[in-house]
Amino acid sequence: MSEETKLQTDNLDLYYNKFKALNHISVHIPANRITAVIGPSGCGKSTFLRAFNRMNELIPDVRVEGQVLLDGQDVFALDEVELRRRVGMVFQRPNPFPKSIYDNVAYGPRAHGIHNHQMLDAIVERSLRSAAIWDEVKDELGKSALRLSGGQQQRLCIARALAVEPEVILMDEPASALDPSATLRIEELMQQLKAEYTILIVTHNMQQAARASDYTAFFMMDDNRAGTLVEFGPTRQIFTNPRDHRTEDYISGRFG
């Protein structure tokens, strides 16, 4: 592959206790591109995503084998707190803190030791602008984030993730709880963001994957119900000319 690799896994196996959820996943995720992760429910997409910011570790009895690399560095050799600053995450359900809009965005920078007010103000504005929500909320930064609409909340969560200046943004079905117009706004936003960030997005929406992503990874469960990577490639190729018949079946099934 000619592109520069940002994230990489080598023979990644992941177990929830005795259950093997990921089986030998090896993939290179290119930098400054949007990579979509698709596949049937329960095939390990979220698990795969959480491997990159080590959020799986928060679940008791999870065991990981194989390698996960960020810029060629083993993520397990990094401090997980520092890793998670560099690899941000947006969740399926919008989950703003029950705090003001401002405090939501400032939360991350504050946690990392920035308390200077001018600096925080600048970060909040820049992040909200990048997340394309600044114009909607700039006059009411003190308002509770819980009073925003679902789509606004999700963009606020993206702003919150951007505020700590990550290099990668993991998005786990970020639009599944949103209506079509809010979904479109998130997709537009992703296009703007990819200039500076590497984006990895899980989606159940084939149109969305086809529309918005540059690369696509297709996961499936193998005979032991462990998630395996069936096919990875440029989105156009995966959707028009898949190499594996299982990819074709899945995509045509989902489109049809």
Partner 1 sequence: MTTVIHTVGQTRNTSGQVKSCSTSLAHVTSSQYLRDKSNLKSRKLTQQSAFALMWLAGSVAVAVLVAIVGYVVWLGAKVITPDFILQPPRGGMAGDGGISYTLLTTFYLVVLTVGIATPLGVAAATYLVEYAGAIRKHRRLWSRLIGIARLGVETLAGVPSIIFGLFGYALFVSALHFGFSLLSATLAGACLILPVIIRTTEEALRAVPNSYREGGLALGATKWQTIWGIVLPTAAPGIITSIVLSVGRVLGETAVFYVTLGGSYRMPTSIMSSGRTLALHVFYLATETHAFDKAMGTAAILVLAIILINLVINLLARRLNRMMKG
Partner 2 sequence: MAYKSARLMDRGVKGILLAAAFLAVAIVFTIGLFILRQALPAFSQIGVFRLLSGTEWRPSQSIFGLLPMILGSLLVTLGAIVMGVPLALGCAILMAEIAPRSITAVIRPAVQLLGGIPSVVFGLFGMRVLVPLIRQIPVPSNTGFSILAASIVLAVMILPTITTVSEDAIRAVSGDYRDASLALGATKWQTIVGVVLPAARSGIVASVVLGIGRALGETMAMIMVIGNSVIIPQPLNDNPLTILLSQARTLTGNIAVEIGYSSGLQTNALYATGVVLFLLTILINSLAHALVKERAI
Residues 99-158 that bind partner 2 (CB under 8 A): 99-100, 107-108, 110-112, 144, 157
Q: Is 96 left (phi over 0), alpha (psi -120 to 50) or beta?
A: beta
Output the smallest distance, CB 127 to partner 1, in A: 10
One-letter-per-residue 3-state SS of 196-217: CCEEEEECCCHHHHHHHCCEEE
Under 8 Å CB-to-CB from 144, ≥6 apart: which residues? 98, 99, 100, 101
Task: Choose the stretch contacting ligand ATP; rule: CB under 6 A; options: 44-52, 97-105, 148-156, 231-239.
Answer: 44-52
Q: Which stretch binds partner 2 (CB under 8 A): 37-45, 78-86, 127-135, 247-255?
A: 78-86
Q: Is residue 165 a contact residue for partner 1 (CB under 8 A)?
A: yes
User: Closer CB to partner 1, residue 83 or residue 157?
Assistant: 83
Identify the residue among 196, 205, 233, 254 touching partner 1 (CB under 8 A): 196
Choice from 4, 57, 74, 82 touching partner 1 (CB under 8 A): 82
Cα–Cα distance for residue pair 49/199, rounded to 1 Å:
11
Q: Rule CB under 8 A: is residue 207 a binding residue for partner 2? A: no
The alpha carbon torsion through 100, 106, 111, 115 (nearest 10 deg) reads -110
